[in-house]
Amino acid sequence: MRSIKLAVLLLIAAGLTTRAQTPAASPPALPAGYVGSETCKICHEDIYNGFGKSPHQAIETNAKRGWMGRGCESCHGAAQKHTETASAAEIRNPAKLVAAAADKICLTCHLNQPTHVGRLESSHAKDQVSCTSCHKVHANGPNGLVNRKPVAINEQCASCHTNIWAQFQKPNHHKLPEGAMSCVDCHNPHGSIRKAMAQSFAANEPGCLNCHGDKRGPFTFEHGPVRFEGCASCHEPHGSANPRMLVRQEVRIVCLECHANLPRVNTTGTIGVVPPSFHDLRSPRYQNCTVCHQKIHGSYVDRNLLR
């Protein structure tokens, strides 16, 4: 009886030893229709070598991802027909697919990541701008799959958003042309809970507060527009000919367009129109409201934002 037990134990040990000695990640046999990346390399050597240096190389080499030895075909699909005919029509080319179909290939692996929480709300997704518009899947540079240097990021964004880049050529602007900032400092290209794909900071606060922390508050006496409609109520964030990137040429005009001294007549209400002020705007003393109402973003101590 003891010998049987011993035999069973040895059998288990032998089995385990054998299992441990089996090559951990030998390329599995190719499924039907697949040819393996080495075959792709014969014609597409440059792309193959570049891919070998890119972060996507993990698909090719990591058995857990299920595409070991078939990295190319993980996106391009089974390539046997293509290798037999050398016809471009016989291989899936994501660049020729509609954006949603191309994205679907990327999202096979990347859907369940925090960057994609706001993806469907982004104007990029809605306007059929695919992942590969910004990410180079075969890239082999030190930057990986996407530009990381501010100057390169800005150039890439500006190649589509030409009119926005033009606004940065105005004299008062955030310092993007100087390379001190990039578009993604303020915008999340994958989408955001905020409008215009604006970055949110920490507790979903506007991304502006990441650098302008002194405007965060909470203030004892808030200025409504800052909280209700954000910094863009009064500022042109990309650039302006007006000082401090204001939306109007002089401060008093910015203020008067809301604080119009007109009685409220609509039933739903409009904030900030009353009560009237009687300052004589002809006097230079009153031509910039923030000379007195200096805590215009909110005051810790004064209800009239004077200090």
Q: Please, which of residues 80-99 interact with other proteins by CB under 8 A? A: 95-99
Site for other proteins in 286-305 (CB under 8 A): 287-288, 290-292, 294, 300-301, 303-305
Q: Is 43 in the site for other proteins (CB under 8 A)?
A: no
Residue number, 80 or 273, with CB nearest to other proteins: 273
Cβ 271 vs Cβ 234: under 8 Å: no
**Binders of other proteins among 156-195, rule CB under 8 A?**
158-163, 165-167, 169-172, 175, 177-180, 193
CA gap 233, 257 in Å, rounded: 11
196 near other proteins, judged by CB under 8 A: no
Q: Which two tokens mark 101?
A: 């179909």
Distance CA 256, CA 150 (A): 38
To other proteins, the closest distance from the beta carbon of 70 in angstroms equals 13
Q: What is the footprint of other proteins within residues 246-275 (CB under 8 A)?
A: 248-249, 251, 253, 256-266, 268-273, 275
Least gap, CB of 7 to other proteins (angstroms): 5
Reading the block at residue 190, the tokens are 């994958």
Cα-based distances in Å from 197 to 15, 137, 183, 283:
56, 23, 11, 42
- CA torsion through residues 91, 95, 98, 101, sign: positive
> Residue 16, class by beta-carbon neighbours within 10 Å (0-12 exposed, 13-18 middle, 19+ buried)?
exposed
Helix or strand or coil: residue 182? coil
Nearer to other proteins, 11 or 85 (CB): 11
CB of 189 to other proteins, least distance (A): 16
Cα separation, 271 vs 268, in Å, equals 10
Q: Using the rule CB under 8 A, is 42 a contact of other proteins?
A: no
Q: Could you tell me the smallest distance in angstroms from the CB atom of residue 43 to other proteins?
A: 17
Closest approach of Cβ 35 to other proteins, in Å?
18
CB of 132 to other proteins, least distance (A): 13
- Closest to other proteins by CB, 32 or 204: 204
Cβ proximity of 260 and 213 under 8 Å:
no
Name the one range near other proteins by CB under 8 A: 28-36, 72-80, 82-90, 153-161.
153-161
- Residue 139: phi, psi to the nearest 5? -55, 145
**Binding of other proteins by 76 (CB under 8 A):** no
